[in-house]
A and B are shown apart, each in its own frame.
Chain A
Amino acid sequence: MEFFFQLMVQGLSVGFLYALAALGFVMIFKSSSVLNFAHGELLAIGAFIFLVFSVRLNLPIPIAFIFTLAGTFALGFIIERLFLRPLIGEALIEVIMLTVGLAAMFKGLLLVIFGGNLFNYPDFLPKGLTIQWGAVVIQPVYVASFIIGIIFLSVFGFFFKYSSQGIYMRSVADNQPAALSLGVHVRRVFALSWAIASLVCALSGIILGIMNGINVHDISVMGLKVFPVVILGGLESIGGAIIGGLIIGLLETFTGGYVSTSLKEVIPFVVLVFILLVKPYGLFGLVEIERV
């Protein structure tokens, strides 16, 4: 039973990690219906920018944090301007291929600059965040990520539901030509959604970095683990991403604990194929109805 609880806590924390990683992905999908295959690389870029500011330049943590967020926000704009703007109005297949290319590009660039080594942030989270509950100890990182996750969930939930920009974003994702003809500024929506998504990615990337250390390969693999999570939760649903993340995390650690450690890495993808066959829109996704 002890083992079971240990696995459960571990699973939930891994799951939270996945959920966090999935948030930025859902952001981009919700606002432009682009499957971003460069997601893991965006996470890694955020984590490395923070590393440069906090460790290499030795800035105080809050300032480094703010600089990182501003930097990645700008980076999102630049990515959109350079690579995605020329493709507005093109077929979706080309945009998706473009993100595949961007992924390879960013990963290569990060490897050239930083190499494949493992880096660590200085320990800066206050110890007061630790929660002790019987034999189970929850590290401050997880508490912090939980708080950030809740904030994300509510802020973006409200953003998409009530703010005009959020509604523009959803309209663009749903039907680009129709949104254009109704006077939605599609270019601005795209730019903004990539900027916000890149910022969200940076946040998740930093938390991933605090938890596991920063390594280009590990973090970019996380970008692919996002797919089972969002398919399980439903591609458009932020809440679904969190629940999907928790389920996948639990499943992974329980498989690792009780069945075999090597199976652990693929079980999310097995689930993914199964879900695509059984309930393709996921738990909370919108069921697409096509009318001609």
Chain B
Amino acid sequence: MRKLRFHPCGNYKESYEEELSIFTTDFGRLWTGIGLILLFVVIPAISNPYLLYVINHIGIAAIAAIGLNILIGYTGQISLGHGAFFGVGAYGAAILSTAVGFPFWLSVIGAGVITALVGMVFGIPSARLKHLYLTIATLAGQFILQYLFVSWESLTGGPMGIMLPRATLLGFDVKGDRSFYYVIFVCFVIMTWIAVNLMRTRYGRAFIAIRDNDRAAEGMGIPIFRYKLLSFAISSFYAGFAGGLAAFYIGSITPEPYTLMLSIEYIAMIIIGGLGSIPGSVFGAIFITSLNEILSHTTQFFMNIGVLTKVALTIAPLREFIFGLAIVLFIIFEPRGLAEVWRIIKSSFKLWPFSY
């Protein structure tokens, strides 16, 4: 057995491969293993159905947030259309599974592919212009797609929406929170693994180069447009995949949820979690989804106390206010988000008592 590797007191890296390695120490491997055991054995065993329902939503949001972080955090292109792209995924999965008759797994992946294609259409303006214009193009995409969800009735069922068939995987019925928990989190682990490794390839490095200085990147021979479009497609794929999963999990879809507010929620997730950090996307998804649940519970709590029903109605829009406030505060005070807070906590443990 080879020697266990621990954290050296200094930087002793000798090759680029070492710099790129995911686990610098064997502790990292150990913690990942512990995390996976927690995720797949402990959490489903101790959680009640409501908690599982919330955690499932966190998992779905985390997949979409990782995708958006690839676009905004790593490539530096802002998208305001991811709420609609999430919706495209949901509709794609619903249509593929009902009208075309694809099985569950194929329609979720198909939903991702369809969304990637749709995303690329709105990414084309980035060919000629810098990031400001792409943001506006995706904003337009958000509204156009929202319109299509409602008005293209032969395909989307209009305001009535679509009922999805029961999901089956490998001959098993996937129903209820617990079995969906396993499906969602296996997908989550795979998608995270892909994203982490993508950022270590030449594609990931090209994305980061474009974010840091697009002119320099072009000078070094990176075809900017192709890589921007690729980043857009990957990011939309993640959004669509998450949307497809969400559609099957909820069981029916209507056009209402996929508004600009959802896009802003996803942006809030990655800003709060940390731009350009994959754990950050997960932290952000946890933060925003829990915040959503807490706020809706508070509203409901006040609603049930007869005297305070009026108060409850006025604090409902506070949700939007708190999202906005969270985005603003994080940008001003901790632009690197919760991921940075987490790193500071970790390093202060590691360096104790000789931190400087």
Asked if A pairs with B, the answer is: yes
Cβ-closest chain A residue relative to B216: A292
Q: What residue in chain A is nearest B72 (Cβ atoms)?
A: A93
**B328, A93: Cβ atoms closer than 8 Å:** no
**In the docked arrangement, what's the CA distance between A92 and B314, Å?**
35
User: Are B324 and A103 interface neighbours, CB within 8 A?
Assistant: yes
Question: Which residues of chain A are near B124, meaning CB under 8 Å?
Answer: 277
Chain A nearest CB: distance from B207 CB in Å? Answer: 14
In the docked arrangement, what's the CA distance between A290 and B328, Å?
A: 31
In the assembled complex, A83 has its CB within 8 A of some CB on chain B: yes
**One of B131, B136, B219, B328 near A231 (C-beta < 8 A):** B136
Contact with A along B138-161 (1 / 0, CB 8 A): 011101100100110000000000
Query: Contacts of A227 on B, CB cut-off 8 Å?
Result: 136, 139-140
B129 at the interface (CB under 8 A from A): yes
Q: Assuming A83-B328, A108-B324, A277-B124, is B140 touching A100 (CB within 8 A)?
A: no
Residue interface mask A221-248, B partner, CB < 8 A = 1: 0001001100100000000000000000
Q: A94-B335, A224-B139 are in contact. Are A104 and B131 (CB under 8 A)?
A: no
Alpha-carbon separation in the docked complex, A262 to B144 (Å): 11
B80 at interface by CB-CB < 8 Å: yes
Q: Would you call B65 an interface residue if the criterion is a C-beta within 8 Å of the partner chain's C-beta atoms? A: no
- Nearest A residue to B136 via CB reads A227
- Contact of B140 (CB < 8 Å), options: A87, A92, A269, A280: A269
Chain B binder among A6-14, A48-56, A109-117, A180-188: A109-117
Return chain B residues, CB-CB under 8 Å to A228: 140
Contact A106 B324 (CB under 8 A): yes
Q: Does B133 contact A (CB under 8 A)?
A: yes
**B322–A280 contact, CB under 8 A?**
no
User: Does A97 count as interface, using CB distance less than 8 angstroms?
Assistant: yes
> What DSSP secondary structure best describes chain B's contact surface?
helix
Q: With an 8 A cutoff between CB atoms, is A47 at the interface?
A: no
Chain A interface extent, by class: 35 or more
Residues of B within 8 A of A103 (CB): 324
Interface positions, chain B 315-344, Cβ under 8 Å from A, are 315, 317-328, 331-332, 335
- B317→A112 contact, CB < 8 A: yes
Q: Which of B44-87 contact A (CB under 8 A)?
A: 72, 76, 78, 80
- Kindly state whether residue A122 has any CB partner on chain B within 8 Å: no
Residue in A closest to B315 when the chains form the complex, CB atoms: A112
Give the total of B residues in contact with A, Cβ under 8 Å: 49
Tell me, yes or no, whether B107 is within 8 Å of chain A by CB.
no
* Residue contact B324 to A97, C-beta cutoff 8 Å: no
* CB–CB A35/B140 < 8 A: no
- Contact check, A273 vs B144: say whether CB atoms are below 8 A apart: yes
Q: Tell which of A97, A106, A109, A292 touches B327, judged by Cβ atoms closer than 8 Å.
A: A97
B201: min CB distance to chain A, Å: 24
Among candidates A98, A108, A272, residue contacting B321 with C-beta atoms closer than 8 Å: A108
Q: Which of B125, B129, B267, B332 contacts A87 (CB 8 A)?
A: B332
When distances are taken between beta carbons in the complex, the residues of chain A under 8 Å from B80 are 100
Cβ–Cβ contact A292 & B219, under 8 A: yes
| B317 close to A93 (CB less than 8 A) | no
Write the chain A residue with the least CB distance to B77: A93
A199 adjacent to chain B (CB < 8 Å): no
- For A84, the closest partner residue in chain B by CB is B332
Residues of A within 8 A of B133 (CB): 231, 276, 280
Cβ distance B57 to chain A, nearest Cβ, rounded Å: 20
Contact string, A244-279, partner B, CB cutoff 8 A, digits 1/0? 000000000000000000110110011011001100
Contact between A115 and B324, CB atoms less than 8 A apart? no
B78/A105 in contact, CB under 8 A? no
Q: Please, how many angstroms separate the alpha-carbon atoms of A272 and B219 in the complex?
A: 31
Per-residue 0/1 for A61-105: is the Cβ within 8 Å of any B Cβ (1 yes, 0 no)? 000000000000000000000010011001011101110111111
B128 within 8 A of A: yes
A282 to B237, CA, bound (A): 31
- Closest residue of chain A to B76, judged by CB? A93
Residue of B nearest to A83 (CB): B328
A197 to B239 Cα, complex, angstroms: 36
Instruction: Give me 12 other A-B pairs in contact (C-beta within 8 A), A101-B328, A227-B136, A290-B215 excluded.
Output: A101-B327, A102-B324, A105-B325, A105-B328, A108-B324, A224-B143, A262-B151, A263-B147, A273-B140, A276-B125, A276-B133, A277-B124
8 pairs of residues in contact across A and B, judged by CB atoms under 8 Å: A98-B332, A104-B324, A104-B327, A262-B150, A273-B140, A273-B141, A276-B136, A277-B125
**4 A-B pairs with least C-beta separation:** A108-B321, A105-B324, A101-B327, A104-B324
